[in-house]
Chain A
Amino acid sequence: MAKHYIPNSAHKEEMLKEIGFSSIEELFADVPKGFIKELNLPEGKSEYEVFLEMNEILERNKTVLEMPSFLGAGTYFHYIPAHVKYLIERSEFLTSYTPYQAEISQGMLQALFEYQSLIAELVGLPVVNASMYDWGSAMAEAALMTVRLHRGKRKKFVVPKHTHPERMQVLKTYGKGPGVEIVTVNWNERGQIDLEDLKEKVKDAAGVYIEMPNFFGLLEEEIQAVGEIAHDAGAYFVVGVDPTLLGIVEAPGELGADIVVGEASYFGNPMNFGGPRAGIFAVRNDPKLIRQMPGRLIGMTKDAEGKRAFVMTLQTREQHIRRAKATSNICSNEALVAVAAAIHIATLGPRGIRELGEVILKNTTYLKKRLKEVAELPFDGVNFKDVLVRFEKPYKEIHEHLLSKNIHGGYYVKPHFPELGEAALFAATETTRKEWVDALIEALREVV
């Protein structure tokens, strides 16, 4: 039966005859008997019917446009300028594969080189790969990399206890392969890393990791000291960063990081229920680090006539060449997500990036100020996006009340950190409106 996605359905007989076969079955003659069978699946439908059906399913989602939401905790509602999506939907980008044939893929290669370059400027390290799956996988691979850099003689990776739980879980899974020992450091009374505890635990570490901002939404003020402690112990310093912060906060590369990871999809990509995303992975310009880094690298070179050109480079680290000895198994990455991020960053430019950071910081501060009126703030410091608040009542009751007012409350933290009590993270970004925050506080007053 002819299908509209399969042009040669109409020519099966004729083609078979031309190559000397009598039937399609003959093409499957090498398949052992009994394997081929009819599957218990629905019949195909028309595009229109599926359009209606999918719309009906999607109707059961309630978006943040229909219900003000204060959810953050690693996924944020940012506005994406319309032209970003328009550009990455250009089918030459959208429908291409990994640029193995450089000459006919110069557009994608240059766009990815620009992504690498823009991220390098933000994070302050000169070598950036063409993306990992997400912040979590980038962080986990950074941990494996620090162990490799110590030739497996050091297997300890030190992370704050208040590292994002999703990332921590990915790290744990990835760490099981080479047997990485994950050591956690406590937070202090200000909700930031406890340097004394770190000093005690850093001995023989392969790497030390810290996030900016941390899981509580706070800027870690002693980040440079953390780097020094790591380096003094002979460990690599890995910084995870929300890049929307980097217009107003110093680049981690300038603060001593050897490896920077983070989430690139905060630029240019919608939340999409959590994916696709793209992990940032950047290192110092040190051959030892570059040789050990995971992922694809796009390099600038020239063509046979001396003209500037772009190509995938240093591929001998990668799985398709090095196989079992590769630095990582990553093959498909998140190229299109990275290009969207690049277009968004380029659009913002230095002024836009700074302003974005400032607006988020100010909106977060407003949210925080208002939350203080109705709840306790366990930690005080500079908050960016997320604010940790503690309630006296069970958070579930508060959540139900907010939902009944068509407001989505924050992220319940207790399942991960029971010691914090009935705590939740409430978040703001540049998209947060004053009337949303005011309605939230009013609703909270009714219930707390």
Chain B
Amino acid sequence: MDNTITYREAVREAIRKAMSEDERVFLMGEDVGNYGGSYAVSRGLLDEFGRERIIDTPLSESAFTGAGIGAAMNGMRPIVEIMTVNFSLLALDQIINNAGSLLHMSGGQFNVPLVIRMATGVGNQLGAQHSHSLEGWLSYIVGVKVLTPATVQDAYDMIGLALSDPDPVLVFENSLLYNSKGSLDTKSTPIPIGKALVHRPGKDITILTYGINLFKALEAAETLAKDGIDAEVIDLRSLRPLDDETIMKSVAKTHRVVIVDDGWKSGSISAEIMARINEQAFYELDAPMARVCTLEVPLPYAKHLEDAAIVQVDKIIEMAKKVMVQS
């Protein structure tokens, strides 16, 4: 049986499964119903589950995200879709001051079992207000969990994991991955939240990444292998909590690190990871840690400028070689 499906279909199947199994699960967001989802993730779900559970919202990110929190506090398992991560900034008050804080400031009385899905990613010439990766930045928030599925399997598994978690979980789906294909095993046990995955074992250098850059890193690793450099590629999967154990184990093995991150350098998740390695595994390092990030500009429209601003396979290769030479 051919079980190869797209990332988009994997997310949709996970939502469909959750909604079929639990009447408390519903989907709410802009264009999720009649339009079928701005990235066509929810296409067909309105016909299947009806208007009461596939809810089109007005352009009111703060209110419908807050409504998701309220519904979660009152016994439901809402999935809120925010069209792109850029729009999540309008809902930051609700995400930080309510979703992330309620359990603690209520002395443990009110947890928020809410899932917020957002499309993220740089590229496609969308310009400075529709083309950013802010998930590293959102992973700064305590009280929420941050997942970044890269593979079809994780796109499916992480929706289920997020829904069964008692706390608010932000799931970042890279919009450039929606058409990517992969095989899906719906019967396998999902790798838990907070666990990174070694995608390609290697002994010379560790490349830490997540989301779409996993594939760029794997491609870079193949080229590096031809030059005799054996790179270990790790998919972080979860930015909060970060899997320190897997990271440090790999550093202890390869002694060299490159972090690949779609965020801007300053204050990014790559900066956090560097700090942690410095705190926990400094003496394992044979060379200064390095990183490949998005240049510190609002994303430009013109293709050549955009390409120059974002992570590319050759930049990863170049950086890895530089680290190898330094050690």
**Is the A/B pair a real complex?**
no
Binding site for B on A (CB under 8 A): none
